[in-house]
Amino acid sequence: MMDRERYQAAFAQVKAPADAAQRALDALPVRQAARRRRLQKTLALAVTAVLLMGTAAAELDNGGVSNLLAPVFGGAQTELIDAIGYPIGASCSADGYTVTADAVAGDRYNMYIAYTITRDDGQPLPEGVYFEELENSAYRGSGGGYRGPRSGEDGEVRYVEQWSSEGPVIGRNAEVTMEGLSVYDKETDTHTLLAQGPWTLKFTLRYKDTTRNVPVAEKSVTDRDGNTYEIQKVQLSALSVRVDMRAPAVEGGSYPDGFSVALLLKDGSTVSPYEHSGGAHGGKEDTVRESYCIGRFETPVLLEEVQAVLICGTAFPIN
């Protein structure tokens, strides 16, 4: 475990370039993940493709937690991320490699953790590295995944873990274990184990939650396909929007594909989540189920700029 003050001081001068958010988010695919997941060869191929697409170089500047979370959000809304994110600085070394949990950000139902992987001898890691296994004890999710790994110019590899939870995640104690650091060689189509590990990190999911309740009068909405939803609760944060509702039961899903949620900003523009997850409770014979949808935004949203939440085109004003 690194001393937090030393850790913050060491990284206080690192800042991602202004376009890092778009480059990182465009390049890094989100993978669905179970609580314990073995990454298959297809993921290794995808990882290699991501690495070949390039990286965001670091620049020296004054900064804060937003710099540590640059692999997640890049240079978007740095003041906001400084306010809601939190440095971790938990490290573990094994077999000549060190994994560090840099920082965490999130809200009531979502969490993002940025990690860095380095070689203890200072040499760069090869492209195409990945973990065969990653487990987070705090996972209670409806959807989760990983971005990267992504190589940096300094030979480090950066890795982002993210997931949404049915219940609140803030304040949970997390024990993260990674095993089987391997590298995929695209030219020879081979996988080589670099180090078995394990690397185990323990920390608390501590950050500022910006979630607020959006007023909901008893209201039903209808989607483009004619499905009707009874909206029960709407919660909005800088990072996501969650809708609790009674929704038509669908086979193999939480709610019909026609359901939609977006934000109406005060300037008249709209913001749609780039990714959704959700869940439902009920029996197989039920035609209507207690359901929820969580939509995550590509970049953080300033809540003071939001006028309303749009659910299937119906406006739910913030105030």
269-319, pLDDT tens digit by residue?
A: 999 998 888 888 888 888 999 999 999 998 999 999 999 999 999 999 998
Q: What is the pLDDT of residues 117-174, one digit of tens each?
A: 999 998 988 888 889 998 888 876 656 666 666 666 567 888 888 888 888 888 889 9
Regarding whether 307 and 188 lie in a shared domain, the answer is no
Contact between 158 and 133 (Cβ < 8 Å):
no
State which of 204, 238, 253 marks the end of a domain: 204
The mean pLDDT value of the chain amounts to 79
Regarding whether 217 and 166 lie in a shared domain, the answer is no
Regarding whether 184 and 216 lie in a shared domain, the answer is no
In sequence order, what are the beta bridge partners of 202?
Answer: 175
Regarding whether 267 and 227 lie in a shared domain, the answer is yes
CB atoms within 10 A of CB 204: 15
Q: Report the side by side order of strands in the sheet with 97-106.
A: 86-94, 97-106, 110-119, 157-165, 141-151
Regarding whether 143 and 162 lie in a shared domain, the answer is yes
Contact between 265 and 305 (Cβ < 8 Å):
yes
Regarding whether 219 and 77 lie in a shared domain, the answer is no
3-state SS assignment for residue 186: coil
In whole angstroms, what separates CA 312 from the centre of its chain? Answer: 25
As a whole number of angstroms, the distance between CA 110 and CA 101 comes to 17
Regarding whether 67 and 165 lie in a shared domain, the answer is yes
In sequence order, what are the beta bridge partners of 248?
Answer: 288
Percent of the chain with pLDDT over 90: 50
Question: What pLDDT, on a 0 to 100 scale, did the predictor assign at position 20?
Answer: 40
For 12, the domain range is: 4-204
What's the structural domain count of the chain? Answer: 2
Question: What pLDDT, on a 0 to 100 scale, did the predictor assign at position 142?
Answer: 59
Q: What is the mean pLDDT of residues 179-183?
A: 93
HSE, side-chain direction, 13 A CA sphere, residue 209: 17
The phi and psi torsions of 35 (rounded to 5 degrees) equal: -60, -35
Q: What is the pLDDT of residues 71-113, one digit of tens each?
A: 888 888 999 999 999 999 999 999 999 999 999 999 999 999 9
Q: Quickly list DSSP for 213-276.
A: EEP--SEEEE-TTS-EEEEEEEEE-SSEEEEEEEEE--TTSSS-TT--EEEEETTS-EE--SEE
As a whole number of angstroms, the distance between CA 29 and CA 238 comes to 21
Q: Quickly list DSSP for 21-81.
A: HHHHHHH-------SEEE--HHHHHHHHHHHHT--PPPEE----HHHHTHHHHTTTTHHHH
The CATH number of the domain holding residue 131 is 2.60.40.1630
